[in-house]
A and B are shown apart, each in its own frame.
Chain A
Amino acid sequence: MVSFLSRLDNIAKRLAVWLDERLGWRGVWEAIFLRKLPKVNWAYTLGSAALFVALLQMVTGILLTIYYVPTPDYAYDTVQFITHDVNAGWLIRGLHHYGASALILLSVLHMARVVIYGSYKFPREVTWLSGVFLLLVTFGFGFTGYLLPWDQKAYWATTVGTSIVGITPGIGDWLLRVLRGGQQLSEVSLARFYGVHVWFLPASLLLLMIIHMYLVIRNGISEIPHKDDQI
C-alpha cells in the first residue's frame, strides 16, 4: 500500500515536471499563491472572499440559465419551476439569490478595509479605480438581476428604480426609455435586463477582475500602516 502510494506520488511529480516544462505553470502558481505577503490580518481576506462569491455567482448563474426563460409569459413560471420542480433548484437559486447580497456586502467591506488601511495610495491607485468599477458592475448585476424573477416585487422595484433615471435634467425621459426599452416596463425591458445581466456585465466583470488581480499580484498587497510611519 505504502509503496503503491509512493509510486503514485512519483508519477504525479513526474507529470507535474513534464507539464511545467511545457506550460510553465509553476511560475504562474508561485506568482498567484506563493507570493510574498507582509504580516496582515483577517480583514485582508475580504477581497478573496468577494472573489470566491463572485465565482459562485458565475457557476450558479450559468446553471440557472438552463431553465430560466426571459419572457413575461414564462419568466415567473420558470423561476417557480426551478424552485419547486428541479432537483436542487431551490439550492442553486438560493445560492445565487443570497450570494448576490453577500457579494455586495463583501465588496463594500473590502472597500472599507482598503480605505481604513490606506491601501488605495501609491502605487495602487489604478487597483483602487478598477475596484470602483468592479463595484459599479456588481451594483449593475444586482439591479438587473432583481427584475428577472418577474414577480410583483421585481416589477415594481424596477419600475421605481428605473424612474429615478427619469429625473435626470434634459435627457431624463430619453434615458428612461433607453433603460426600459420603451415608456413602460415590458417584455423589452425584461429581455434587455437579462441580456445585460448575462452578457454585458459578466464580460465587464471578467475583464475588470483580471486587471484588478493582475495589479494586486504585480504591486503586492500593502502593509498595515504604523503610527510611526511618515505621512
Chain B
Amino acid sequence: MNDDNRLSRRGFLSLATFSLGGLISLIVGIPAISYIVSPARKKVEEINFIPLGAADRVTVGEPTLFRTKITQRAGWIIDERELSYYVLTENNREFVALSNICTHLGCRVRWVADEEKFFCPCHNGVFDKNGAVVSGPPPRPLDRYEVKEENGQLFVAFG
C-alpha cells in the first residue's frame, strides 16, 4: 500500500480512528472494571471496640448483662443488630465479655445468680461463671471477647 514507507492518507486515517477508538475504550473500560470490582475492595472490618456502658455496673465476681447495638452497612442498607454480652470482672480492673449465645445451637443463655451458672433454655446446656461447659450438649465454652475500660466506660472488641 505504501511502498516508500510513508503513511498514506488512508493509512493515517485508519490509524487515527483505531487509536481514538482504543483510547475511548480505555477511558470507559478501565473505570468500568474498577466499578464492577469496587465492593471487593472493602475487606472485612478490623476489630472495632464498641461501647457497652458504665464499668461500675459490673459487680465483682458476678457476670452482668450488657446490651449494645451495632450498625453495619454492606451497600445501601444500614443494618442495626443488637448484641448482648455478660461482662465479668474479679478485680474491677480487668474485664472480660462472654457471649450470651450458647455454643450448642445458638440459643441465649441466662445467668442464674443463685446457682452461679449460665443455663441454656433449649437443651439444658450449663456453663460456669467463666463460660466453661459444666454439662449438657455444648461442644465448647462460651465465646470470650476482649474488653477495655476508658474513663469508666467499657468497650468490647467486635470483629
Please, which residue of chain A has its CB at the minimum distance from the CB of B75?
A81
| A residues adjacent to B (C-beta < 8 A) | 56, 59-60, 63, 66-67, 69, 74, 77-78, 80-81, 85-89, 91-92, 95
Interchain CB contact (< 8 A) of A87 among B38, B75, B76: B38
Q: Which of B19-55 contact A (CB under 8 A)?
A: 28, 31-32, 34-39, 41
Quick one: given A63-B35, A74-B76, A78-B76, are A87 and B28 in contact (CB under 8 Å)? no
Interface contacts (Cβ under 8 Å), in number, total 44
Asked if A80 and B76 make an inter-chain contact with CB atoms under 8 angstroms apart, the answer reads yes
Other than the given A63-B35, A66-B36, A87-B31, 7 more pairs (CB < 8 A) read A56-B28, A59-B28, A81-B75, A87-B34, A88-B34, A89-B38, A92-B35
Report the count of interface residues on B (CB-CB < 8 A).
Answer: 13
Interchain CB contact (< 8 A) of B31 among A74, A77, A78, A88: A88
Contacts of B76 in A (CB 8 A): 69, 74, 77-78, 80-81
In the assembled complex, the Cα of A63 lies from the Cα of B36 at a distance in Å of 8
Contacts of B28 in A (CB 8 A): 56, 59-60, 95
Contacts of A88 in B (CB 8 A): 31-32, 34-35, 38
In the assembled complex, the Cα of A89 lies from the Cα of B39 at a distance in Å of 12
Please, which residue of chain A has its CB at the minimum distance from the CB of B35?
A88
Interchain CB contact (< 8 A) of A92 among B31, B39, B41: B31
| B residues adjacent to A (C-beta < 8 A) | 28, 31-32, 34-39, 41, 75-77
In the assembled complex, the Cα of A69 lies from the Cα of B41 at a distance in Å of 21
Asked if B32 and A63 make an inter-chain contact with CB atoms under 8 angstroms apart, the answer reads yes
Least CB distance, B39 to chain A, in whole angstroms: 8
Contacts of A85 in B (CB 8 A): 38, 75
Contacts of B36 in A (CB 8 A): 63, 66
In the assembled complex, the Cα of A85 lies from the Cα of B28 at a distance in Å of 18
Please, which residue of chain B has its CB at the minimum distance from the CB of A75?
B76
Please, which residue of chain A has its CB at the minimum distance from the CB of B25?
A59
In the assembled complex, the Cα of A67 lies from the Cα of B41 at a distance in Å of 15
Contacts of A69 in B (CB 8 A): 76
Least CB distance, B151 to chain A, in whole angstroms: 34
Task: Give the 7 A-B residue pairs with the shortest CB-CB distance, closest first.
Answer: A88-B31, A77-B76, A87-B38, A87-B34, A81-B76, A86-B38, A88-B35
Please, which residue of chain A has its CB at the minimum distance from the CB of B78?
A77
Contacts of B37 in A (CB 8 A): 87
Least CB distance, A102 to chain B, in whole angstroms: 14
Contacts of B41 in A (CB 8 A): 87
Contacts of A78 in B (CB 8 A): 75-76
Least CB distance, A66 to chain B, in whole angstroms: 6
Contacts of A95 in B (CB 8 A): 28
In the assembled complex, the Cα of A59 lies from the Cα of B75 at a distance in Å of 22
